[in-house]
């Protein structure tokens, strides 16, 4: 399964009525032909499945796409390794990662935010 780089940008919400291209995530994951994350291929490539959280006015956070024991997906950051800071992808198991789709993430501040899938490109 080929690895893809997925860029998510903050969608419209009360704090950002126009959304924000300066707030989001860029991560690497293996996607199947339908655009779903492929768990078997992720296991073979987990070290390459990285994430960068970019948020205007804050330092980038760098980590990994991880799979939780219950089968859900999350972003785990390398800074302190605290599971409480993991950011859970809401229904990442069933979501399709294609430009124009919307994805929700429960961020480490317990805020559920919606992000637009902006690009999905092959990993160089």
Q: List pLDDT tens digits, range 67-104.
A: 999 999 999 997 765 566 789 899 888 899 999 999 99
What are the structural domain ranges in the chain? 3-122
Report the relative pairing of strands 20-30 and 87-90 from DSSP bridges.
unpaired
**Cα–Cα distance measured from residue 16 to residue 32, given in angstroms and rounded to the nearest whole number:** 32
Phi-psi region of 43 (alpha: psi -120 to 50; beta: other; left: phi over 0): alpha
Phi-psi region of 91 (alpha: psi -120 to 50; beta: other; left: phi over 0): left
**Predicted TM-score (pTM) of this structure:** 0.92
Q: List pLDDT tens digits, range 15-53.
A: 899 999 999 999 999 999 999 999 999 999 999 999 999
């Amino acid at each position: 399964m080929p690895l893809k780089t997925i860029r998510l940008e903050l969608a419209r919400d009360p704090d950002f009525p126009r959304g924000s291209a300066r707030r989001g995530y860029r991560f690497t994951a293996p996607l199947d032909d339908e655009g779903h994350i492929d768990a078997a291929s992720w296991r073979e490539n987990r070290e390459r499945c990285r994430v960068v959280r970019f948020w205007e006015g804050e330092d980038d956070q760098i980590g990994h796409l991880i799979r939780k024991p219950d089968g859900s997906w999350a972003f785990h950051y390398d800074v302190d390794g605290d599971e409480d800071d993991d950011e859970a992808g809401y229904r990442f198991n069933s979501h399709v990662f294609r430009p124009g789709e919307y994805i929700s993430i429960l961020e480490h501040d317990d805020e559920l935010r919606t992000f637009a899938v902006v690009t999905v490109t092959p990993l160089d």
